[in-house]
Amino acid sequence: MHDKPVAIIANARHYVGPALAGVMAEAGYDLVLGDPEPATVDAISEAGADSWVVDNVLDLAEPSAAPRLVDMALDAYGRIDSAVFFSGGIVLGRLLDATDADFDAVVSGNLEPVFRALRAFLPPMVDAGRGQVLAITSASGLRVTPGAPLYSATRAGANHLVRNAAAEVARSGVQVNAVGTNFMDFDEFRRATGADDPDVMAKIEKNVPMGRLGTMEEFARFCRVFLDGTAGFQTGQVVGFDGGWSA
């Protein structure tokens, strides 16, 4: 069997994916990367880690996506020690104004990917008697979120699915946790909220107890503890990473 531990980063192209790839390479992991940019692959190689790429797996609601990542890891390395994934379909607006299409969008964007990822990533870890799975969800699933009832409800459902999966596999030695985020500094958040306008950013920061947005680098390092096997007594937890917003 391959000597080094192996991590799947299901989406290595967007959000925290590139930073996580670097952090896990730094931790001594070889990687299976979903749809990375060439620069990410180059950086992993420069860090001394091996990586294999799986294309067209960004939509984990697609039934073949997560299994293809698993197949690559097992074919290339013969093992899976960690897996991290994220997804999200944002629908805003009042519940009483929501349409059937809105409901379908949040279920396919927020619940179905978590179900399919857990169902694919957990069995080989259970068989091996070890492993860590981290689902990156949303802190909106930890509290009532006015203006986003469908989004926050399906995020809460995803969080609870993680807790149930963790309970099912706890005695096998596999850990399953989730981190829910909000107020993160990345292109899509800034574009969706208009945060590049200083006045808008000032209003956003007033909603964050810590008074700023979170960075991808600090978030990746926070995620590492759920993936690198150094905190083996933590499972079934959903933790907010949101500057205190969900506290």
- Which pLDDT score is estimated for 64? 98
- What digits encode the pLDDT tens for the residues 55-91? 999 999 999 999 999 999 999 999 999 999 998 877 7
Distance CA 39, CA 163 (A): 35
Range 11-18 average pLDDT: 96
Least confident segment among 71-75, 105-109, 144-148: 144-148
- The answer to whether residue 197 sits within a structural domain is no
Torsion of CA 223, 13, 24, 16, to 10 degrees: -20
Q: What total number of domains does the chain contain?
A: 1
Structural domain of 49: 6-182+215-240
Distance CA 124, CA 6 (A): 12
Mean pLDDT of the chain: 94
CA 162 vs CA 9, 28, 137: distances in Å? 17, 26, 10
Residue 158 neighbours by CB under 8 Å, 6+ apart:
110, 111, 114, 135, 137, 141, 178
- The answer to whether residue 53 sits within a structural domain is yes
- What digits encode the pLDDT tens for the residues 212-245? 999 999 999 999 999 999 999 999 999 999 999 9
- The answer to whether residue 1 sits within a structural domain is no
Range 18-32 average pLDDT: 97
- Which pLDDT score is estimated for 47? 93
- The answer to whether residue 89 sits within a structural domain is yes
pTM: 0.94
- Which pLDDT score is estimated for 97? 83
- The answer to whether residue 245 sits within a structural domain is no
CATH code (residue 173): 3.40.50.720
**Of the candidates 61, 160, 40, which has an alpha carbon nearest to the alpha carbon of residue 53?**
40
- What digits encode the pLDDT tens for the residues 164-189? 999 999 999 999 999 999 999 988 88
- Which pLDDT score is estimated for 230? 94
Distance CA 51, CA 143 (A): 38
- Which pLDDT score is estimated for 36? 98
Facing residues of 184 across strands?
Answer: 214
- Which pLDDT score is estimated for 89? 72
- The answer to whether residue 195 sits within a structural domain is no
- Which pLDDT score is estimated for 188? 81
- The answer to whether residue 205 sits within a structural domain is no
> Is 11 a residue whose pLDDT tops 90?
yes
Residue 58 neighbours by CB under 8 Å, 6+ apart:
11, 13, 14, 34, 35, 65
- The answer to whether residue 116 sits within a structural domain is yes
Contact 84, 8 (CB under 8 A): yes
Range 13-29 average pLDDT: 97
> Is 192 a residue whose pLDDT tops 80?
no
